Amino acid sequence: MTDKPWPARLSPGALAVVQELPEHAKEMVRDVLDIAGHDPWSFAAFDSRDPEGEDVRSASVGQLTVVYWINRPAGRLYVLDIVWLG
């Protein structure tokens, strides 16, 4: 994998998960975060019953789920967790 920067900041837990993923899954995470970075509210809220939690989103594609927080003041995403079912 190339050493290009991630399109979002990763929590320590998310970084540990990424390091264990196969290469194709790492690229999928990178692609999902790149898409989410352009329009972070396009993915569903993690808990739609929580109106104050609108900035915590869950992006799911196939076997991959990325849970991220939209850091409005910094203008970037912060990845809370990554789940890979593979």
Give per-residue pLDDT as tens, 24-82: 999 999 999 999 988 888 888 888 888 888 899 999 999 999 999 998 888 889 999 99
Q: Can you give the length of the chain in residues? A: 86
Residue 81, strand partner residues: 67
**CATH code of domain 9-84:** 3.30.2310.20
- Residue 1's pLDDT band (cuts 50, 70, 90): very low
Q: In what order do the strands lie in the sheet with 9-10?
A: 9-10, 76-84, 64-71, 56-61
CA distance 3 to 40: 24
Q: Is 75 helix (H, G, I), strand (E, B) or coil?
A: coil
Q: In this structure, are residues 9 and 77 in contact, taking their beta carbons and an 8 Å threshold?
A: yes
End-to-end, the C-alpha distance of the chain in Å comes to 19
pLDDT in tens, 15-24: 999 999 999 9
State the pLDDT at residue 2. Answer: 52
Instruction: Reply yes or no on whether the pLDDT at 13 is more than 70.
Output: yes
Task: Sketch the domain layout of the chain as residue ranges.
Answer: 9-84
| Amino acid 47: pLDDT | 86
- Which pLDDT score, from 0 to 100, does residue 44 have? 84
